[in-house]
Each structure stands twice: as C-alpha cells, then as structure tokens.
Amino acid sequence: MNIEQRIESVITPALFDRGFRVVRVQLQGTKGKTLQIMIERLDESRVTVDDCALVSRTVSVLLDVDDPIHESYTLEVSSPGLDRPLVKKDDFERFTGSRIKIELNVLYEGQQRFQGVLKGIEEDTVKIEFDPENRVAEIAFSDIKKAKLIPDYDNTQAKVRKK
C-alpha cells in the first residue's frame, strides 16, 4: 500500500460518515509537499467552501493521529469540478454514457489518448465508444493512466439558469 492509499484508507470512513466521497488523494512535490484531497458530496449537491473547511479540519485531525507523512506539507481540499477525474472502477460505472478523455500507459491501436463515450466497465475492462466511427474499444482498467469527464457546458449552463 503506497502513502496515498494509506491516507485514503484512514480518511474515507470519517468523511463518508460526514456525507462525503473521496474522489482522489494525491501527494505531490519533493520540497514543500502538497496533499490534495478531492471530494464530492454523497447527496450529489455542490461542494461548498464550508464543506472543504470541514473536510480539511477532519483530515488534519486524522492525519495528526496516524502521521503517514513524516515531513511538513500543505493540505488542499477541493471539489472535482466539471472535468472530474475518473479514478476508481465505480467511477466508470457511475458515469456510463458520459463523454470522457482517456490516456493510457500503453498504446491501443497506435494511440495513447482517446475521447469518446463511456460505455461502462465489466470486471476489469473499460468500454469506450470512439467518435466518429462508433467503434467500441475494450481497455484494461490497469492500462489507464488518466481519465476524466469532458464537461457538457450546454447542459451545465441550462442547469445553472434553472436554479
């Protein structure tokens, strides 16, 4: 288990109890490390500044007790934003039907980067329909370096105007 996985395992239960899902944990930097924790609300409403402050306080206490990072660091808590990263297998199921960008660790038909419509995940295989050919690629979950949603600004703006 690497340090990011350890941190996630320490903070996830407490944040879940407070109504949050951990999207991603990243520890970056060599000098002046930054611990980035990305969260979303379980009720799927927008993450507020107060939510980030609550999570920051909670995580700080938990990490002070567990002490997985043995040097000074800056803690950043944020929402995933419109171009939310897809990190866990559950993300690939939850966002089936969404347009995504994906980058692979290996070549697939001579390419490492694709855009398309997420068709879901079956066991360890992510399925993506690529434009304009409508072909479906089957990619091993372990071959994915990065994946994120492509924001649909038209629908986002419509939702914002309705509220």
Is residue 84 one of the residues assigned to a domain? no
Amino acid 115: pLDDT: 92
Amino acid 163: pLDDT: 38
pTM exceeds cut of 0.85: no
Are 51 and 41 in contact by the 8 Å Cβ rule? The answer is yes
Is residue 23 one of the residues assigned to a domain? yes
Question: Binning pLDDT at 50, 70 and 90, where does residue 70 land?
Answer: confident
Are 100 and 83 in contact by the 8 Å Cβ rule? The answer is no
Q: Any residues with CB less than 8 A from the CB of 68 and at least 6 apart, and which?
A: 3, 6, 7, 10
Q: What is the DSSP letter of 97?
A: T
Question: Binning pLDDT at 50, 70 and 90, where does residue 135 land?
Answer: confident
- Decide which of 47, 78, 109 is a domain's last residue: 78
- Per-residue pLDDT of 5-51, as tens digits, reads 999 999 999 999 999 999 999 999 888 899 999 999 999 999 999 99
CA distance 62 to 134: 47
DSSP of 100-133, one letter per residue?
EEEEEEEEETTEEEEEEEEEEEETTEEEEEETTT
- Taking residues 152-163, what's their average pLDDT? 53
Tally of domains within the chain: 2
